[in-house]
Structures are given as structure tokens and as C-alpha cells.
């Protein structure tokens, strides 16, 4: 909440320091260039971990009902959503049934492009790239580029 109250021109490292002061695990050298939307149903500071030397753009949504783990050197562009909860399909009068929680993890060096959506339970491998606007509902292998809705493999990328 406090991060969202900061003026838009506050330095990215100051936003990261504010999250650390609030009890979140945010690695050294991480930059947060605009307001984050962090929501969830449980102890947010215990369930969110952002690695070192990451870059998070403005208007990123982190729905932290279950664990979100972001590795080191991850780039998360503006408008990306990481979601950890959904509902079971239920009876016709009210389709959204019982709440289901599933963690999300983003591997080291991954790149999530603008407005991509990572659904509950998905693991993005090290060095993977998720194209802009993609909706990822299945795990992404390391060093793989995916795109589309739902996201599909576009190509294998060079490994380090």
C-alpha cells in the first residue's frame, strides 16, 4: 500500500527498499519502477520472494494467496499478472466454487513481457521468455520462448 502512495517519479531502488522495510524479501539491486499491486488472502510477506537484480515495471499485479518466488535477474514488464488462486468449477447457480491455491515460480534470468498473465501453479524455467499478452497455463521449460493465448512454445533459446 505504501509503495502505491509514492509519487510516480520515486527512484526504483527506493520502492524496493520500502518493500524490504515492510518485511518482504527483495534481493539487492532489484528495481521497481512503478506501483505494484500486491493482494492475497494470507501472510503476504511470508509468501512473496523477489530475487536480486530484478526489474519490475509499473502496474505489475502479484496475487499472493500462495507462494510467489521470483529468481535472480528476472525482468517483469509493465502490466504483468502473477496469479496464485482460482476456483473449482461449481454448480450452475454459482460457477466459482471452492478456492484453489497453487504457487508460481519464475526462474533466474526469465523475461515476462508486457501484460502477460501467469496462472496458478505455473513454473517458468530459467532463461525463459514469455511474449507480451501471453496467457501461461502450463509450465515453461528453461530457455524456451512462449507466446499466445494459451501460451505455446515458439522456439528453444540458446542456453548459457
- Please name which of 138, 112, 144 lies closest in space to residue 125, comparing C-alpha atoms: 144
Choose, from 37, 42, 87, 95, the residue flagged as catalytic.
Answer: 87
| Contact in structure between 146 and 134 (CB atoms under 8 Å) | yes
Strand ranges, E, within the chain: 25-26, 31-32, 36-39, 48-50, 55-56, 60-63, 68-70, 75-76, 81-83, 85-89, 96-101, 104-106, 111-112, 117-118, 123-124, 129-130, 135-136, 144-148, 151-156
- Cell triple for residue 15? 520502492
94 counts as catalytic:
no
- Cell triple for residue 143? 530457455
* Integer CA distances (angstroms), 64 to 67, 83, 152, in order: 6, 7, 25
Radius of gyration of the chain (CA): 16
Active site residues: 87
Amino acid at each position: 500500500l505504501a509503495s502505491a502512495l509514492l509519487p510516480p517519479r520515486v527512484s526504483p531502488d527506493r520502492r524496493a527498499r520500502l518493500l524490504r522495510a515492510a518485511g518482504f524479501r527483495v534481493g539487492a539491486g532489484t528495481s521497481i519502477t512503478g506501483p505494484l499491486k500486491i493482494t492475497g488472502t494470507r501472510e503476504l510477506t511470508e509468501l512473496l520472494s523477489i530475487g536480486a537484480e530484478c526489474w519490475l515495471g509499473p502496474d505489475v499485479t502479484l496475487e499472493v494467496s500462495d507462494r510467489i518466488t521470483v529468481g535472480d535477474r528476472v525482468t517483469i514488464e509493465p502490466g504483468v499478472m502473477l496469479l496464485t488462486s482460482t476456483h473449482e468449477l461449481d454448480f450452475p447457480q454459482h460457477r466459482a466454487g471452492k478456492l484453489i491455491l497453487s504457487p508460481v515460480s519464475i526462474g533466474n534470468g526469465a523475461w515476462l513481457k508486457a501484460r502477460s498473465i501467469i496462472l496458478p501453479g505455473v513454473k517458468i524455467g530459467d532463461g525463459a521468455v514469455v511474449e507480451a499478452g501471453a496467457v501461461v497455463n502450463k509450465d515453461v521449460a528453461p530457455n524456451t520462448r512462449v507466446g499466445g493465448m494459451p501460451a505455446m512454445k515458439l522456439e528453444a533459446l540458446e542456453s548459457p
